[in-house]
Structure 1
Amino acid sequence: MRRAGRARAPRLRRRGLLPVAAGGVHRSQGRQDMTASTGIRGGFARSVATTAACNVATAVASGVAGILIARALGPSLRGEYAAIMAWFAVVLVVGQLGQTAATTYFVARVPDRARDYLATSRNLMVASGSVTLLAGIACAPLLAPEDDTVVLAYRLMFATCLASFAGAGYVFALHAARLPRWNLVRIMQPLAFLAVVGVLHLSDELDLLTVAAALSATVVAQSILAYVLCRGLGLTGGRSESALAAPMCRYGLSQLAGSVPAAITARLDQIVLSFLAASAALGNYAVAVSLTAIAVPLVAAFGNVAFPRLASRVGAASRLDAMQRQTLLASAAVGVVVTVPLVVLAPTLIPALFGPGYAEAIRLLWLLAPGGVLLACAQVGADLLRGHGRPLDVAQAQWIAAIVMIVLLVALVPTWGAMGAAVASSAAAATALLLMLRSLARNSSAAEPELATTELTRRTR
């Protein structure tokens, strides 16, 4: 019996379900290396602070670029741009097949096979991105049947999706392997985008097509940088294996099951308004949404740091549970502290930043502000559940929230327009957060099942 178990072990190691002792490196050593690389012993607060700083810088760059774009395009074209970006977000979520979160989880969970997991996720996403590009080119005329310029902007957006898919595996391998380098890659794209948009604005060349081209070019540059950094860490050159694809697809599809409704709750309101409301109304709504998202970068940092730490399972269960509680409380407090001054200053801030054409965004901001805090906290709750290997719990919460949003959009938008969409958005965010908190309360770090361990058990029976 023991000989049979020993004979089976090499096969399991090749499949990535047991640690590889190549070069004399055992799993314990690989775990220590991953612990050092993710900064687990370097202090949770310090990691959150640096990640939050990166998130804020990213948001500021995106916000300033958004202001320049809004001023150059005006409310109507800004509405078209908002619709394009809404579809862009949805296509990214669906086309990536949940492999961004799966890459982070398995690179942190099984560091000895990080290169092979990365290669597997990359191939999956490139195949999906190729299909997305072809489908997007064919469907673009249906999204803007009366405007060739907008059709071309949509096609540029779909091409950008392929570039993003090709680099996403490298970006999220860095999330697990080197958090500072992950932050560097994330901040590079919005800073570069802002620089390009600024140059276009100063040269009076900023229009819908040049904005789409700037987005595409900076996403390509981000993917190249992520590859170079991963190569420097020895994360490239792995083999894509079907045995690794199976658990990654299971995790990824569970993640996708939650990401699709999350994208619905984040973008469906704007998509519905793009069909049922005037472009100017959608432009005002998009501005209000962008402002209520200001708290997200600070709040999201807690989940960004906690996810790979929980996945790596380094530390006592009681300590991980305490970290989880503190993460939830701190994220809620930060969200409230950031949002309340924004609500108070809105009547002065919005006209000064965006111009008099966006006065309607003030009332929309007041309605969207509670949902902005709740949505940010829900994102943290989702990261905690993913770190526990429970993406299906996230999916359940997000689907219920999406149903709530759809029902309220149908009931409120025909009568209240953009204000009805704001109410629906806040209600959906509250629903998602409450359900995730219930799931987290029900499951502790000591008792939750792990996808990698479950896969190992299943294959060794």
Structure 2
Amino acid sequence: MTLASPAPQGDSDSPAAAPVGGNIVRQIIGMIFPPLAGLATAPMLARALGEGGRGELAASISLLQLVAAVGMFGLQESLTFHIARAPERARTSAVFTSFTLSAFGLVGATSTFLLAPLLAGGNDELVVLMRWTSIAVVPTFLLAIPRSIAAGCHEWKLAARESAMTGIVRLAAVGGLWLGGSLTPFTALLAAAGVPLLCAAVYIPFLVRWGRALGRTPRSGREETGRGILQFGWKVWLGALSGIVLTRLDQVLMVPLSSESQLGLYAVAVTVGELPTIISAAARSVTFSADAAEGDESAHAVRLQQTTRVTVLFTVLAALLIGASMPWWLPLLFGATFAASLPAAVVLLLATVAGTAGSVAGAGLGARGHPELRSLSMLYGAIGNLGTLVVLVPAWGALGAATATLVGASISGTANLIWLKRRFGMPVRSFAGVRSTDVRAIWTGARRVASALRKPPVPTTKH
């Protein structure tokens, strides 16, 4: 897929020229493995753990994700931005962020341990699981460093390789535990939290080469660099916090508001309903890094619009395919008990579609130096999500949580599009529909992707 080149802002049908589509495809190929592995392991978890045990596992993993989103203060995305925008200060940026995340991680681990009884809703077994989760907090925080460096250096093949390995190894680990009769909430938690740390070893050769290349870079401007990373991270943090409310707080609060059984149903619905999000996540990552490296707020406006339209198109197609076939294969894979998760899964598919355009547009806001606008959008969405969650979950359970996600995604996505219109003059209609240039870009990309994936990475000298 070849996406649009820089052009005056606004709605345009200019020919596409800047090849970011190949990077998006690489990301999708890599990122598809974890959710596919999640889909493959979900029946094993559902059958081995039951609704209650599946709910306990979901609550523990969601707590880890919540602590990471809150405790990192946006530094992962800030490091990506600064490495892409100012490669001459990459070493200073990475060192400062590493030490800062280590300190924040210790605070996060302590908070996780202490908050476990409050979030477990009187479930002693869940308290133990959540406290085991605290051990993984610091390593999870530090895992953000190689991921951010790779993204800032546009090493999308490497990022895709790590993502693919994580999915494959996790599938092997859970499958082995299931076949051996050892799959419990605790062993499943070990696999979920430990496998990403193990697969991060794929970054080591790259980091060694990268560090040697930076050996002669003057370590200047430390104070200015650190201040810039914290300031950008702070602007991102509100959005990260709001984002976790939109995507994971529901699973943390489900037990106090409803029950472990409803959380187990909802966890299955999330596994299925969020499958199409890999398309928008890949587009968002590549758009953010590419536009940040450009360093010009007005550049690549047409490319952003076309990337968004094409991403929405493929997300809709994926959601329709999954939604139409789901009634046949979901009860077969997960068991008749989990057929009750179908309505929630359908609503989550709608939420994914509703939030896709705004999700990619939000990456454009961040790359143009205005992550605070995206954060405000996510805050509005989080308020809508949380209010709906508290009202509907006690009565509707999993379906109430899914409806809250739909409300939040619609609000935050729409707000991002409005910000782009107000600040950068991009009409909201330019992010909707399918144009002839989009079809040509897709057709061209389909012919080039195979050869592009076989090409060796082009060495860079600026990092």
Shorter-chain TM-score tier: 0.7 to 0.9
Distance in 2 (CA, whole Å) between partners of 1:155 and 1:58 is 25
Matched, 1:417 2:397: yes
User: Which whole-Å CA distance do the structure 1 matches of 2:363 and 2:287 have between them?
Assistant: 7
Displacement of 1:55 after TM fit? 1.4
Distance 1:135 1:314, change over 3 A: closer
Kept in 2, the 8 Å contact 1:159–1:216? The answer is no
Partner residue of 1:350? 330
Q: Is the partner of 2:182 in helix, strand or coil?
A: coil
> Does 1 or 2 have the higher relative contact order (CA < 8 Å, sep 6+)?
2
Distance in 1 separating the partners of 2:170 and 2:341: 25
State the partner residue of 2:379: 399
1:254 aligns with 2:231: no
- Please list the CA deviations of residues 320-346 of structure 1 after superposition, one character each: whole Å capped at 9, or x if unmatched: 011111011111111110001222222
Say if 1:171 and 1:185, in contact at 8 Å, map to a contact too.
no
1:214 and 2:194 are equivalent in the alignment: no
Structure 1 counterpart of 2:262, one-letter code: A
1:298 is the counterpart of 2:298: no
Q: Following the alignment from structure 1 to structure 2, what is the Cα–Cα distance between the partners of residues 226 and 378?
A: 31
Matches within 5 A, 1:352-391: 352-391=332-371
* Aligned-partner SS, 2:424: coil
Give the direction of change, closer, same or farther, for the CA distance of 1:198–1:244 in structure 2 (3 Å limit).
Answer: same
Matched, 1:233 2:210: yes
Say whether residues 1:124 and 2:100 are aligned partners.
Answer: yes
Runs of 4+ in 1 over 4 A off after TM superposition: 145-148, 235-240, 314-318
Structure 1 residue matching 2:78: 3-state secondary structure: helix
Per the alignment, residue 38 of structure 2 pairs with: 62
Q: 1:66 offset after TM fit, Å? A: 2.7
- SS of the residue aligned with 1:65? helix
Q: CA deviation at 1:145?
A: 6.8
CA contact (8 A) 2:304 2:361 kept: no
Shift of 1:187: 2.7
**Shift in CA distance, 394/315, structure 1 to aligned 2, threshold 3 Å:** closer
Q: Give the drift of 1:113.
A: 1.4
Structure 2: gaps (5+ residues)? 1-16, 427-463
| Contact 1:133–1:159, Cα closer than 8 Å, also in 2 | yes
- Which stretch has the larger CA shift, 233-242 or 129-138? 233-242
Q: Gapped runs of 5+ residues in structure 1?
A: 1-40, 447-461
Which of 171, 185, 205 is equivalent to 1:194? 171
1:27 equivalent in structure 2:
none
SS in 1 for 2:138: helix
Q: Select the residue among 267, 277, 288 that pairs with 1:307.
A: 288
Distance 1:280 1:152 in 2: 19
After superposition, the C-alpha distances for 1:119-163 in whole angstroms (9 at most, x for unaligned) are 111111111001212232233333337555433321222211210
What is the CA-CA distance between 1:411 and the residue it aligns to? 3.0
Does 2:226 match 1:245? yes
Larger mean CA deviation between 231-240 and 161-170 belongs to: 231-240
Q: Which secondary structure state, in structure 2, belongs to the residue aligned with residue 233 of structure 1?
A: helix
Residue 58 (structure 2) aligns with? 82
State the 1:76 CA deviation: 1.0
What amino acid sits opposite 1:355 in the alignment? Answer: G
Paired residue secondary structure (1:360):
helix
Q: Which moved more, 1:187-196 or 1:279-288?
A: 187-196
Cα distance in 1 for partners of 2:369, 2:398 equals 37
Partner residue, 1:271:
252
Q: 1:150 to 1:269 in 2, by over 3 A?
A: closer
Residue 91, structure 1, aligned to residue 93, structure 2: no
Residue identity matched to 2:266: Y
Aligned-residue offset at 1:264: 0.5
**Does the residue aligned with 2:181 lie in a helix, a strand or coil?**
coil
Contact 2:283 2:360 in 1 (8 A): yes
Deviations 1:89-121 (A, max 9, x none): 110101111111001100000011111111111
Residue type at the aligned position of 1:298: I
The yes-or-no answer on 1:321 pairing with 2:313 is no
Deviation (angstroms), 1:222 = 3.4
Q: Deviations over 1:148-183 (max 9, x none)?
A: 543332122221121011221121110111222122
State how far apart, in whole Å, the 2-side matches of 1:174 and 1:384 are. Answer: 19
The letter of the residue matching 1:159 is I
Amino acid at match of 1:329: R
Q: Given the superposition, is the C-alpha separation of residues 114 and 445 from structure 1 closer, same or farther in structure 2, using an over 3 Å criterion? A: farther
The letter of the residue matching 1:370 is L
CA RMSD of aligned residues (A): 2.3
Residue in 2 aligned with 1:426?
406
CA separation of 1:317/1:375 partners in 2, compared to 1, >3 Å: closer, same or farther? closer
Higher helix proportion: 1
